[in-house]
Amino acid sequence: MSSSEPSPLDPLDPRNELSEFLRTRRARLQPEDVGLPYFGARRRVPGLRREELAQLAGVSAAYYTRLEQGNARNVSAAVLEAIADALRLDRAEREHLDHLAKPAPRRGRAVPPRPQRVRPQLQHLLDAMDSVPAYVLGRRCDILAWNRLACALLGDFAALPPEQRNMAWLVFMEPATRELYDDWEGKARDMVAGLRMHAGRSPDDPRLAALIGELSVKSPEFRQWWAAHDVRGTGPCTKELHHPVVGRLTLANESMVLPADPDQLLVTYAAEPGSASAEALRLLASWTAEVAQSAATAEASDNRA
């Protein structure tokens, strides 16, 4: 593991995160992309030079250099916006840049945030969604709550030890999860981008640093994509899954931030009505209900014995 990668025990360094994020965003732009003249000369670095980016943002080259070196002290919102415009950042990237440039004051020794809890009313909602697989993600992509159909579709979350009840960990470390997604790389990159967003918000979270450290050591794909510093917002998409019981499914994947709990994300999978995927979900729900009923009957028999 290189010195730029987090160890399983150390918090993330906001200065280094800011520096690498700006550098990687600058590297993806070419002069012709932003209307600057290009004379065909060999360039020593990929993408724009710092001086060119500073010119586009309307700041001095020395000022931008200090910022890209991680020195964001007293940087104004207007300057950040100008740099974001010059780098052509999207909404998620702008939010990430703001967190990196203006991190919350460090509290000395890294202390994990308080454990997250799902409101009982939200769990009731999940349970009522008996035809839609649904679960709730918290910080670090931790799986906080789910319904029976989500377990039937994606894996038995309840059977996992708490430290493995994390969607990013499952995507990279659990072979069954890797085989489930037709576009595993797309799903995995989404997980990396989500962890990057969490790292920008909570650089002092040692549990997050430990997760990133473990995945960096054990997964070459994670290590490669983590170094890209990509971030991504949530939004609707379509997922192709290969389920071992009901076969292939095409499902609409929705992810919604919960207004009352902004650190929690409700994730659902739905099939187009009347489709083969809808019938497959119906069969999966029926099978899940039968298994639950059999378990309840066996428990009742044990209690009477």
Query: pLDDT higher for 33 or 56?
Result: 56
Helix, strand, or coil here: 76?
A: coil
Residue 43 has pLDDT above 90, yes or no: no
- Cα-to-chain-centroid distance, residue 65: 29
- The mean of the pLDDT values for the chain is 88
For the chain, the first-to-last Cα distance in angstroms comes to 56
Q: Which CATH code for domain 120-300? A: 3.30.450.180
**pTM across the whole model:** 0.86
Domain ranges of the chain: 14-101, 120-300
Cβ neighbours for 49, distance < 8 A, ≥ 6 positions apart:
43
Strands 143-146 vs 247-258: parallel, antiparallel or unpaired: unpaired
pLDDT > 70: percent of the chain: 86
CATH architecture of 14-101: Orthogonal Bundle (1.10)
> What separation in angstroms does the CA of 33 have from each of 57, 126, 149, 158, 234?
15, 46, 46, 49, 26
Q: Do domains 14-101 and 120-300 have the same CATH topology?
A: no
